[in-house]
Structure 1
Amino acid sequence: MMPGYGRADTSLVGRWWWTVDRWSLVALFVLMAFGAVLIVAASPAVSERIGLDTFSLAKRQLVLQPLAIALMLGLSLLSARWIRRVGVLGLLASLVLLVLTLAVGNEIKGAVRWINLGGFSLQASEFAKPCFAIGAGWLFALGQEHREFPGWAAATALWAVMVGLLLMQPDLGQAVMMSAIFGVQFFLAGLPWFLVGGFAALGLAGIGGAYFLFPHVAQRIDSFLDPAAGDRYQIDRSLEAFADGGLFGRGPGEGRVKEVLPDAHADFVFAVAGEELGLLACLVLVLLFAFIMLRGFTRALGENNLFVLLASAGLFTQFGLQALINMGSSLHLIPTKGMTLPFVSYGGSSLIALAIGMGMALALTRRYAGQGGAP
């Protein structure tokens, strides 16, 4: 029992302590600890390559961790009604930022995904994902509660606008992520089975269209299917790192892949974990992600508040799928896609946005959270 907080305690923190999913909270803190260790191990070599002080990138990330923890805990204190309000406001802000990114954002490698705000480089799409899960979940639930309101149509229109803005950057990976969130929520909201097949076919058609429309997508798919078809430098180094790490790893700080892999601190941080900490540590990471996602879905599916069910399912879908994409790319199980490993990879926007998303998820899956849900 938490010192000073009994079950009869009716204070805000007391009620939070006895209703929040403490096991998931512990797992999230362990993930952040993994992230801190791996950022300190992987980022110095990257910092030196780009002309920064040795621990410059590590300091930037570690300074943001307390803020991320505060945001996650602070949001987890809120009721479902307040989570809905915060999420919808965040969604509106994200839409504005996505439009601003297209207008005044910085172009990097042919894509416009970043915008400078007060000296801080912000990736609006990271914040759009959790807020979209809240907004779309609310629209679906509103349509079920008030039959005169076109909830499915409104949620679909919101998805189309968000995906359209992402494809204009272009950022196919984030568009796929948002489509996955939308698909899961639509299914749980009562999507007829004959439409499930239609949306699956539409998704496959979209991937096929992206192959022909976006050269970088074609290159990655060709490289995945045929080793001789494109540049496989990063994925080859990643696979070598896992092989060199073996069961127990070479030891923290002893790896070599970070010295030659451009994205060792970000998209390929899982390879650094494999080389320095070994297979067993990587399996622990996989189990942590699986535990958080499955436990979150279990608690969400036990809710009788449709908004809570749909919003939390969307948030956990984003969290789990993002981890799966990152780890699958590092292991060459899927075509490479630049996406951070939640709470482990370097990236300020990703860290803060994920903290917001998981804070919302913890709030929504608190026991009896459905009783304080959106009207």
Structure 2
Amino acid sequence: MAAGAARRLDWVLIVSVAVLCAIGSLLVWSATLPGDGGDPMDSTGHLRRHLAHLAVAWVACLVVASVDFRTVRAYAPIVYVATAVALVLVLTPLGAVINGSRGWIVVGAFQFQPSELAKVGLVLVLATLLGEPRDGESRPMTRDVLFCLLVLAVPLALVMLQPDLGTTLVLGAIFLGMLTLSGAPFVWVAGMLACGVAAVFCVFWFDLLEPYQLDRLATLVDPSADPQGAGYNSNQALIAVGSGGFNGTGLFQGEQTHGRFVPEQHTDFIFTVAGEELGFAGAALVIALFAVVLWRILRIALGCDQPYPRLLCVGVAAWFGFQTFINIGMGLGVMPVTGLPLPFVSYGGTAIMANMLGLGLVLGINSRDRGFE
């Protein structure tokens, strides 16, 4: 990256994400320490893999940030098609079922989750379609929105077949956020919201949810309904967060965390580790850092002269903001369990890479002239 472009990077955004990554690494380490009788030699196994994922992802982020806008825009269809093909491969014998969802491609020791990178592909293509009105038009028109709906439908349908409700919701949030701020006719925005309400009604009316999904929704309304079954995760998460008090029990000192009472605590429920071991103060710091990240991304969007880079930032902000809200809401018992990791904090390979690619797109916009042709 050129020295001039590096100076124009948003260092407040970079430092905020770096601090989230550092906190996440400590929380992953604590959540994966072996319990009683565990192998002490494996006490840093997850941490080392997590740090390796972060290192590769940071490099990818800086590479993307150094790429010219027009190059990124030109490769958007290729990225979209590649992720769509990967989502199809998930449904073949190459796909593997992990935690009840057929969302992974596993070849030997290599594991890859295409639905995470589908978020990047969708943001890129929607920014191109909604951010480049035809000659003589100043905003997307009906035909543009219809084409965007078709573009959304492909990854949405493939992710639903896995099934992966969490990622389905994130893709929908990305589309709605970008459509709302693209200047498209308001009737389409209102129509999308109405369709969403109608879809929820139809899901319940025609009994389209799996039994375990209905159980999760039931325990959201009444967490005590099935404390040893569907409500177990939410109840244990609340106990872990509540036991931290204001200052927390101390890093590596959480009884709920090291007793393995909360499942998937290093991924989906990583926020409960922060709540227990870092307390209200530490959990509030994590939330504040995410607020700073979203503020800086939207600030960059407001400074863009052209719709394409502005919508790129809006798409990434909608992605990070919605996913953060759902994940933290799961830990606090106010949102249903959907299996979404906390961006930049949770353990993962493909998810971390996707998050960093999204960050790189935003940083690249801020480091260059935003009024490009």
TM-score (norm 1): 0.90
Equivalent-residue separation in structure 1 for 2:134 and 2:330 (angstroms):
38
Contact 2:269 2:331 in 1 (8 A): yes
1:151 pairs with one of 144, 160, 171: 144
Is 2:30 the counterpart of 1:31? no
Judged with a 3 Å threshold, the aligned counterparts in structure 2 of structure 1 residues 201 and 330 are, in CA distance, closer, same or farther, namely same
Is 2:101 the counterpart of 1:111? yes
- Report which stretch shifted further, 44-53 or 266-275: 44-53
Contact 1:61 1:348 in 2 (8 A): yes
- Partner in structure 2 of residue 14 of structure 1: 3
Is 2:198 the counterpart of 1:205? yes
Report deviation, 1:141: 2.1
Is 2:258 the counterpart of 1:268? no
Contact 1:47 1:57 in 2 (8 A): no
Report deviation, 1:138: 0.3
Residues 263-302 of structure 1 mapped to structure 2, 5 A cutoff: 263-302=264-303
After superposition, what is the alpha-carbon deviation per residue over 1:140-172, rounded to whole angstroms, capped at 9, x for unaligned?
Answer: 123345769943222111001111111111112
Equivalent-residue separation in structure 1 for 2:41 and 2:215 (angstroms):
31
Contact 1:363 1:369 in 2 (8 A): no
- Which amino acid is the alignment partner of residue 319 of structure 2? Q
**Helix, strand or coil at the partner of 2:335:** coil
- Which amino acid is the alignment partner of residue 241 of structure 1? A
Equivalent-residue separation in structure 1 for 2:34 and 2:133 (angstroms):
52
Contact 2:130 2:182 in 1 (8 A): yes
**Helix, strand or coil at the partner of 2:97:** strand
Equivalent-residue separation in structure 1 for 2:4 and 2:236 (angstroms):
49
- Which amino acid is the alignment partner of residue 79 of structure 1? D
2:181 pairs with one of 174, 188, 200: 188
- Report which stretch shifted further, 87-96 or 19-28: 87-96
Contact 1:79 1:369 in 2 (8 A): no
- Which amino acid is the alignment partner of residue 161 of structure 1? V
Contact 1:46 1:262 in 2 (8 A): no
- Partner in structure 2 of residue 234 of structure 1: 233
Judged with a 3 Å threshold, the aligned counterparts in structure 2 of structure 1 residues 145 and 322 are, in CA distance, closer, same or farther, namely farther
Report deviation, 1:210: 3.8
Equivalent-residue separation in structure 2 for 1:256 and 1:367 (angstroms):
48
Contact 2:241 2:331 in 1 (8 A): no
Aligned CA-pair RMSD: 2.3
- Report which stretch shifted further, 163-172 or 224-233: 224-233
Report deviation, 1:66: 0.9
2:156 pairs with one of 157, 163, 167: 163
Contact 1:144 1:151 in 2 (8 A): no
Contact 1:133 1:314 in 2 (8 A): yes
Judged with a 3 Å threshold, the aligned counterparts in structure 2 of structure 1 residues 217 and 39 are, in CA distance, closer, same or farther, namely same
Unaligned runs of 5+ in 1: 1-11
TM-score (norm 2): 0.90
2:62 pairs with one of 73, 83, 92: 73
- Partner in structure 1 of residue 209 of structure 2: 214
- Partner in structure 1 of residue 344 of structure 2: 343
Equivalent-residue separation in structure 2 for 1:245 and 1:145 (angstroms):
58
Report deviation, 1:197: 2.4
Contact 1:72 1:358 in 2 (8 A): yes
Equivalent-residue separation in structure 1 for 2:214 and 2:270 (angstroms):
24
Is 2:112 the counterpart of 1:122? yes
- Report which stretch shifted further, 350-359 or 112-121: 112-121
Structure showing the higher helix proportion among its residues: 1
Report deviation, 1:191: 2.6
Report deviation, 1:78: 1.8
Equivalent-residue separation in structure 2 for 1:283 and 1:276 (angstroms):
13
- Partner in structure 1 of residue 127 of structure 2: 137
Unaligned runs of 5+ in 2: none
Is 2:69 the counterpart of 1:96? no
Equivalent-residue separation in structure 2 for 1:276 and 1:51 (angstroms):
21
- Which amino acid is the alignment partner of residue 245 of structure 1? G
- Partner in structure 2 of residue 223 of structure 1: 219
Is 2:246 the counterpart of 1:247? yes
- Report which stretch shifted further, 255-264 or 144-153: 144-153
Judged with a 3 Å threshold, the aligned counterparts in structure 2 of structure 1 residues 332 and 69 are, in CA distance, closer, same or farther, namely same
**Helix, strand or coil at the partner of 2:67:** coil
Contact 1:46 1:264 in 2 (8 A): no
